[in-house]
């Protein structure tokens, strides 16, 4: 499963969602959203990259050009696993990247450039980014007169990781508590607690049982499974706890196990 992460190589957030200037009415009106202004490496126009495959759900050419993108599959975020949306505002009318995928329904692949920072409806090059869970394809004027995104708007630090191999430079984190990660995917193999233990069942437990001994049929992680996992851990110099987590799985994969 892909992780969803901050979409610029250099993080320089010039206004966070809680600022008391132009974003103030965004997060104090009803409904509210949580925009960040991202200004990239300098005063020029840095790129916004697509962190995972996304589909264009809406695009508006107006005084504040905006594109809406929704992930084509569920992704992992710092606070949930689900579909996510992201909007990018202020790109310029002549942005060649936007011209490539300006139709609703167009797919933007992971790693492709969505747009460059711009000044459409802004004084200096930047992109105003909003994020949320699920789907969005529109905005609405809130009680403070600001256009906010329609949907389950969430603060960006709850929706995006900082992927350290991509966003290699942090000039200004906007005062937000970003969760860093050094991988852009996470395993779907484990149950939500992160490891298998006695009492678990299901397709992946069946695979584990098959791996250890073809004689054990069924998909139940029982006493026999625990014993055999402990023996495997002992033989391989691992911590002997009878559970299968990341370390034990890695050793199993080394020896031919396929997730
Ligand atoms: Zn803004």
Per-residue pLDDT of the chain (259 residues; tens, 9 = 90+): 899 999 999 999 999 999 889 999 999 999 999 999 999 999 999 999 999 999 999 999 998 999 999 999 999 999 998 999 999 999 999 999 999 877 999 999 999 999 999 999 999 999 999 999 999 999 999 999 999 999 999 999 999 999 999 999 999 999 999 999 999 988 778 887 888 999 999 889 988 888 887 555 567 788 888 988 999 999 999 999 999 998 999 899 898 888 7
Q: Where are the alpha helices (DSSP H) in the chain?
A: 24-28, 96-100, 156-159, 203-212, 223-235, 246-254
Distance 123 CA to ligand 1 centre (A): 11
Confidence at residue 212, expressed as pLDDT on a 0 to 100 scale: 84
Spatial CA neighbour of 108 closest among 55, 185, 47, 184: 55
pTM over 0.85: no
Q: What value, to the nearest 5°, has the Cα angle with vertex 139 and ends 138 and 142?
A: 155
Candidate CATH numbers 1.10.1060.10, 2.102.10.10, 3.30.70.270, 2.70.70.10; the one for domain 10-181: 2.70.70.10
Distance 22 CA to ligand 1 centre (A): 7
3-state SS assignment for residue 8: coil
Q: What would the two tokens of residue 50 be?
A: 């697509």
Distance 35 CA to ligand 1 centre (A): 6
Distance 182 CA to ligand 1 centre (A): 28
Distance 161 CA to ligand 1 centre (A): 20
Q: Which residues surround ligand 1, an ion (CB under 5 A)?
A: 35, 37, 128
3-state SS assignment for residue 234: helix
User: Residue 192, preceding bond cis, omega within 30 degrees?
Assistant: no
Q: Are 125 and 44 in contact (CB under 8 A)?
A: yes
Q: Are 85 and 68 in contact (CB under 8 A)?
A: yes
Distance 79 CA to ligand 1 centre (A): 23
Domain edges within the chain: 10-181, 203-254
Spatial CA neighbour of 111 closest among 21, 211, 7: 7
> What is the C-alpha separation between 66 and 102, in angstroms, rounded?
11
């Amino acid at each position: 499963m892909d992780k969803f992460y901050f979409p610029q190589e250099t993080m320089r957030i010039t206004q966070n969602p809680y600022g008391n200037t132009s974003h103030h009415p965004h997060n104090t009106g009803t409904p509210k959203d949580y925009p960040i202004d991202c200004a990239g490496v300098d005063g020029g126009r840095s790129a916004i990259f697509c962190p995972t495959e996304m589909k264009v759900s809406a695009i508006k050419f107006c005084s504040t050009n905006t594109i809406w993108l929704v992930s084509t599959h569920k992704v992992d975020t710092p606070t949930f696993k689900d579909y996510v949306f992201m909007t990018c505002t202020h790109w310029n009318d002549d942005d060649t990247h936007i011209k490539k995928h300006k139709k609703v329904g167009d797919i933007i692949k992971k790693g492709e450039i969505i747009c460059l920072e711009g000044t459409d409806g802004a004084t200096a090059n930047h992109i105003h980014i909003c994020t949320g869970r699920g789907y969005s394809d529109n905005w609405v004027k809130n009680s403070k007169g600001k256009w906010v995104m329609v949907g389950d708007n969430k603060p960006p630090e709850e929706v995006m990781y900082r992927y350290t191999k991509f966003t290699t430079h942090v000039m200004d984190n906007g005062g937000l508590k970003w969760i860093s990660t050094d991988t852009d995917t996470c395993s779907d193999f484990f149950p939500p607690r992160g490891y298998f233990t006695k009492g678990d069942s299901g397709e992946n437990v069946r695979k584990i049982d098959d791996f250890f001994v073809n004689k054990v049929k069924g998909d139940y992680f029982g006493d026999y499974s625990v014993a055999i996992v402990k023996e495997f851990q002992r033989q391989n110099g691992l911590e002997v706890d009878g559970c299968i987590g990341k370390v034990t799985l890695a050793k199993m994969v080394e020896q031919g196990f396929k997730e």
